[in-house]
Structure 1
């Protein structure tokens, strides 16, 4: 009987059991760096008003938790911007030298971003939105500046929020 390095195991849940010589995925420091997000947060702040659009208060609840297996972070958010109910679900995972984030909002939009972590600063950058998070208070507070761009070149502040970890 010929020797083989392949084994039958689950490689991808949607595929079931298959023969593979692919190395099993292993969590590393890049995954552990996402731990700063894990928890329940209360998000308070405001949109940045313009000459045409007044500022609106923001109050949301955000929960970041590990998805089964510990390779991805699941972020669910719900609350209000002004009088409008808002929410969404985000998945964050390791991608090359940074992270990939996909956010599905309560209006049917899908937002893709690159997330970079540099010490106590996290930066999400998408085509038309970006945000910079500064962690303070031993990681229990996130001070966030959101920006938006109509063309991906010219950026303007869109929201300022502070998240406080409550659990």
Structure 2
């Protein structure tokens, strides 16, 4: 779990979804917090953002072994939804978050002051992927 150290802290988050026919682009703004869990064996991730008019609150527990060096990310949202994703790193050190209908590539600035993520989603169960949103993060502490 040592590799998560650069993410530990508070971040302001901002982004925008991709406009699609019948689906306007939506602005995203809020905050993310990554904190160590018990024994530094888990990371606790809290998301509080507005996506357009919707308030989104998510709590995530990261760190359960997921095989092949990956860890599981279990999330719980304010609407009673749950999700399970896998986190791993690519050869360049970027984080890859992969779930059945969403995936992202997160790049952390080498100085630890910012991060950027590109999200994709699938509406057909993971066969076809489309660009969904772009997010940027600035460290606040």
Equivalent residue number for residue 39 of structure 2: 69
Residues 48-83 of structure 1, C-alpha deviation per residue, up to 9 Å, x if partnerless?
A: 110111001100210000012110000011120001
Q: TM-score, normalised by structure 2?
A: 0.92
Higher relative CO (CA 8 A, sep ≥ 6), structure 1 or 2?
A: 2
Equivalent residue number for residue 103 of structure 2: 130
Q: CA deviation at 1:94?
A: 4.6
Q: CA deviation at 1:120?
A: 3.4
Mapping of 1:50-69 within 5 angstroms?
A: 50-69=20-39
Residues 20-40 of structure 1, C-alpha deviation per residue, up to 9 Å, x if partnerless?
A: xxxxxxxxxxx1111121010
Query: Which of 14, 19, 23 lines up with 1:44 in the alignment?
Result: 14
Q: Which moved more, 1:107-116 or 1:125-134?
A: 107-116
Q: TM-score, normalised by structure 1?
A: 0.78
Matched, 1:91 2:61: yes
Residues 85-141 of structure 1, C-alpha deviation per residue, up to 9 Å, x if partnerless?
A: 111101100513111111112222111111002353000000000010111251221
Equivalent residue number for residue 134 of structure 2: 160
Mapping of 1:1-16 within 5 angstroms?
A: none
State the structure with more CA Rg.
1
Whether the 8 Å contact between 2:64 and 2:73 is mirrored in structure 1 is: no
Give the Cα–Cα distance (whole angstroms) in 1 for the partners of residues 105 and 21 of structure 2: 24
Give the Cα–Cα distance (whole angstroms) in 1 for the partners of residues 93 and 112 of structure 2: 8
Give the Cα–Cα distance (whole angstroms) in 1 for the partners of residues 123 and 23 of structure 2: 15
Give the unaligned 5+ runs of structure 1. Answer: 1-30
> What's the C-alpha RMSD, in Å, of the aligned pairs?
1.2
How many residue pairs align between the two structures? 137
Give the unaligned 5+ runs of structure 2. Answer: none
